[in-house]
Structures are given as structure tokens and as C-alpha cells.
Amino acid sequence: MTSSIVFDHLSFSYQNTTAPALQDISGEMTRGSFTMVMGHSGAGKSTLCCAINGLVPRFLRGDYAGRVMVEGMEAAKNSVPDMARVVGIVLQDFEAQLFSTNVELEMAFGLENQCLPRTDMEERINIYSQMVGLKELLRRDTATLSGGQKQRLAIGSVLAMETPVLVMDEPTTDIDPEGRRHILSLIRRLRTRERTLVVTDLDAEAAVQADQIWLLKDGQLLAKGPPVEILTDSSLIESCGIRPLATVALFQAMNWPGQPLTVEAAAAEIENRRLLCPRRPECRTISVLAPGKVILETRNLSYRYPAGAINALNEIDLTIHEGDFVAMLGQNGSGKTTLAKHFNGLLKPTAGNMLVRGRPVNNYRRHELAREVGYIFQNPDHQIFAPTVREEVAFGPRILGMDRKALERNIAEALDATGLSGFEDKNPFLLNRGERQRVAVASILAVKPAVIILDEPTTGLDYVHQRDTMEMLKRLNQLGHTIIVITHAMWIAEAYAKRSILMKEGRILLDGPTSMVFSDEAMLAAASLAPSDLIRLRNRLGLAAMTLTDMVKELKSEAVPPGSF
């Protein structure tokens, strides 16, 4: 088969750095193939993507060696505009490539630079805006779009250019699970149109349908091969910051034959080999914890944005209790963030009431409310501004008038709780995404609020950093903090939340113990969500466990003795 992209001993180090971003990368991607590039944060995935279209080394300067050939063109020796006619790229920081005043103009920009006739431009805009779910938003100001909608726009704008090579750097980080499945399905369909696809992702489930996987670690190409070869080596991919496939990890932990990559294949193996005794789903037990005192309460709460035609929230009645660990779930635009911003007064109800410890939020002074409810934004850079970590963490306690002794104690405790002791003098903007997320948490934690709200705290983090972040929140919950997490990562909710709230179109569809919520796949589907593969398999087997470790314990009590199959 004809090679579309060839890496020939590519190495690259950014200016003013000591460690190379890429080291001696060699390999080929055939025309019309789908390659998934995976690896931990900082492994070199984004640098590899930018080397394909010449941003490295043309715009992103550094020491460059070797070469990258793309459709017969040497990327480093051609201008970025010339490479843009061959390579379309969706950046990890997708907002950085959006600048037009509405959706239609953004999608038209690349086509105008291709000098496409107006009728052809209109046709492509119609086709690709429909593909990415933005057909009804062509006149919308890009600044008013949600994060997920902006990411769809970046994808649609690049797709419309119909370049022979398409590179997407983590293209679904801000998109809800249903939208993620749609985009990944779209990517797979594009492969049949003879486009060469290069996609980076941190989710092993997304890589199952790829033709090949390239696994990066510390700038080196550690392994490459078909999914069945790479994804069945759980220890290998976990060492690269990737969460192993649940089905493979389960079969390996149980010493069962086979290494199924999907839930359907796993269920078939279990049934065919009679690895388990049949069990009815209704046998599953669901534990319900006794709630603490009510700390947050909404009564008939509705909210409409100033320019909105319909309510973003509709008559919400909800109570959050002391000691809760809550996951708020739903697709983009379901109202999760809008509701959470009422909890600390960032938004005021259009109708109804928001109460904190029984008092209307309007009756609190700002500093009083800050001691009750802390809010960490989805993008930590939206709330970080100080030149050092210590100054950032000290800001909240200082403006609240905390005395010096208490301030120093709270700073030390917040840094210790978030694993940032020793980072005091570092510039937060030079830290990686996971570390900046922890700085944002520490800055809120130093005030010691009773409730900590986090909007998508694991977005863009590899598995190791996701797990570290959630374990930190678990410890804070055990120390008495009420934790509320808005997330699109189903496994995060499944493994850590005691309670899950399912939202759609500004209403609460389901609210209860996480085990119960994730047992109701029909209700999840109504909200355009689905459980992780592990929980889908758990539901099919009628089990109670919500984590791999607990599932193994439960299964070992029911497994058929060796030699019975």
C-alpha cells in the first residue's frame, strides 16, 4: 500500500528545554489508514501532530532533526500555508484556532483561502455543519458556544477543507459521551473516503476501531501495531498513562482465556465458555447511604440567560447533603454547569430559590459564601493569575482577612492535600495541565469551604493524572468536604461518586445512588449517555460492583472452577 506519511528518524526539542519532545521517531502511515496516537501527558503526541503539517519547526521553534514526508512533500521544507492544502489539523487547544464572529464564517474561512467557488463553499458548509451537529447554529456568535460546540466547530471547519490528510489532537475532550461516539463514528467513516487519519486520544475504548496504534512515552515511539496487539498488553498501555480496556483487564484478573476488546465479545466468551453461573440483574444489591444535614437546596429554581429564548433550567428541586460526593451528568447544554453556578451565587435564579444552609444565597456576603462553597472552573487557567503557586493559593485566605498564622497553616495544608508541597515558588503557568488543576483546587481548598465544586476536573489529563486527581478529591471527601463533580467521564462517576444526578434540557431525569443510576441504561440513553464498558458488562452479568477490583472479588465467588469449560 502507498505511504501517506513517513517519519524518518524525527527528533525535536523545544527552545529553552533540556528533554527532547520527540526522539528518533520512524514509521509509516498508509494512505486511507486510521492511526491512533496514544501516550501520557507530555509524551509528545501534540508535537508529533504539529510536525505533520509543519507547525514544528516552522512556528514552534527548536532543534529539529530527521524529516517528515506527507503525500510526497517534506513538511519542514514547505510553508505552513502550502502544507495546509494537504494537512488539516484540529489542535488540542481548539479555541486557539477559532476567531470568526459566527459559525458560518468560521467554517468558510479555510474554504475562502482555498479559493473555492461560493456555491461549493455553501454546499460544504451545509454538509459538514450537519455532520458535526451545528447546522442550526450557523448564525451563532462563536463566543456564545459551549466548549463542546466550539470543539465541534473546529472539527467541522477542518473537515470542510477536505484535505487528504486529517490530524486531530484529542478532538473530543469537551464533548459529551453521545457527541464523542458521534465524532468517533464520523472519523471511522471518513477513513473509507481515502483520507489518512491521525488522531490522538487518551481512551483505549476509542482506539479499538483504529487500523494501528502508535504508543508514545517520553518522546519515544514505544510500540506500534494493530489494536489487538497493543490494547491487550494492559501493563504496557498503563505505563504510558492509558487506562486499560476494562474487558481485557477483567479477563486477565480472573485468569479467563481470551482477551476480548469489546463488551459484546466479552459477554460471548463468558457465555460460550460458561465461566459464570447465571445471575438475574434483580439480584443486584444497591447500597443507600444515610444523608447528612442539607447544605445546598434549590426550590423550584429556573434560569434563563439574558439572550436566551428558553429556560436553561426548569423548576429544579434538589438537596445536597454534607458529606455527599455527587457526580452531575448530562450532555452538552443539559444545564449541569448552569445549575452548579447557582450553588455559589455566580448566577442568580430567574425564578425560585437557592439556599445555602437554609439561607437564600442573596443573603450571604461574598466572603461568607466563599467559606461555604468553592468553585473550580473547567479550565484552570481561567482562575489562575498569580506569579507563584504560593501566592495563588494565598490569595483567597488573604482577601478574606485571615490572620497570618491561620493563613500559613491553611496554605501548607492545601498544598499537602493536593500534592503540591515543594511547588511553592514555581510559576503555575509553567506547570502541566494536571498540576495547574491541582493549583486551582489548592487555591479554593485554602479557604476551607464546606462544598467544593469542580467542572470537568479531569479533562485533558491522562489516566494517571485523572486517577491522582480523583483520589485527592476522595481524600477531601473523607475529611468532611462535600464534593460535586461535573463530568463527561463515565468511569469517574462510576468509581468515585456516591450519588449521581442525571440532567437533560434543564431538568433532572434521575437522582440517586450511583450504582442505581448506572443500572438504568435506558434512562442514561434518554440523556444521550452510556455507562463505561466495565459497567455495561457488570449490568449484563447482574453484578453489584462498580470498580474492577470489586468486580473481581464478586466474580471470584461465582466463577466456574478451572477445567469446567
Same topology between domain 1-78+194-244 and domain 323-345+373-532? yes
Q: Closest by alpha carbon to 313, among 296, 295, 294, 330?
A: 330
Q: 374: closest CA among 481, 496, 501, 498?
A: 481
Instruction: Give the amino acid at 25.
Output: I
DSSP class of residue 278 equals: -
Structure confidence at residue 277 (pLDDT): 62
Is residue 310 predicted with pLDDT exceeding 60?
A: yes
pLDDT tens digits for range 523-546: 999 998 989 999 999 998 888 899
Calpha distance 275→413 (Å, rounded): 49
Q: What is the pLDDT of residues 201-253, one digit of tens each?
A: 888 988 998 999 999 999 999 999 999 999 999 999 999 999 999 999 999 99
First CA to last CA distance, the chain? 42
**Domain residue extents for the chain:** 1-78+194-244, 323-345+373-532
H-helix or E-strand spanning residue 516 = helix 514-517
CA of residue 221 relative to chain centroid, distance: 24
Q: Pick left, alpha or beta for residue 318 (phi over 0 → left; psi -120 to 50 → alpha; otherwise beta).
A: beta
Asked if 234 contacts 249 with a C-beta cutoff of 8 angstroms, the reply is yes
Exposure string over 85-117, b if 16+ CB within 10 A, otherwise e: bbbbbbbbebbebbeeebbbebbbbbbeebebe
- Say if residue 374 is exposed, middle or buried (CB neighbours under 10 Å; 0-12, 13-18, 19+): buried
CA distance 396 to 410: 10
Residue type at position 39: G
pLDDT band at residue 336 under the 50/70/90 scheme: very high
* Calpha distance 280→519 (Å, rounded): 13
> Distance between CA 146 and CA 555 in Å, rounded?
42
Q: How many CA atoms lie within 13 A of 120 on its CB side?
A: 10
**Nearest of 248, 278, 244 to residue 263 by alpha carbon:** 248
CATH of 1-78+194-244, one of 1.20.120.1200, 3.20.20.70, 3.10.310.30, 3.40.50.300: 3.40.50.300
Please return the burial class of 284, using the count of CB atoms within 10 Å of its CB with bins 0-12, 13-18 and 19+.
middle
Statement: residue 140 has pLDDT above 70? yes
Q: Which amino acid is at 45?
A: K
Give, as one character, the DSSP assignment of residue 565: -
Diameter over CA atoms, the chain: 70
Nearest Cα to Cα of residue 266 among 549, 558, 556, 539: 539
Query: Is 63 in contact with 12 (CB distance < 8 Å)?
Result: yes
- pLDDT for the residue 323: 94
Per-residue pLDDT band at 199 (split at 50, 70, 90):
very high
CB 90 within 8 A of CB 171: yes
Average predicted confidence (pLDDT) for the chain: 88
Give per-residue pLDDT as tens, 402-453. 888 889 998 998 888 788 888 999 998 888 777 888 888 889 888 889 999 9
Beta-carbon neighbour count of residue 41 at 10 Å? 19
Phi, psi of 379 (to 5 degrees): -100, 110
The more confidently predicted of residues 56 and 147 is: 56
Spatial contact of 20 and 184, defined as CB atoms under 8 Å apart: no
Q: How far is residue 381's CA from residue 378's CA, in Å, rounded to a whole number?
A: 9
Q: Which residue has the higher pLDDT, 271 or 322?
A: 322
Cα-atom radius of gyration of the chain, to the nearest Å?
Answer: 25
User: What pLDDT score was predicted for residue 72?
Assistant: 93
* Alpha carbon distance 538, 532 (integer Å): 10
Q: What is the pLDDT of residue 438?
A: 83
CA angle, 269 then 535 then 555, to 5°: 55
Residues whose CB falls within 8 Å of the CB of residue 311, separated by 6 or more in sequence, listed in order: 302, 303, 304, 350, 506
* CATH match for 323-345+373-532 among 2.60.40.350, 3.40.640.10, 3.30.200.20, 3.40.50.300: 3.40.50.300
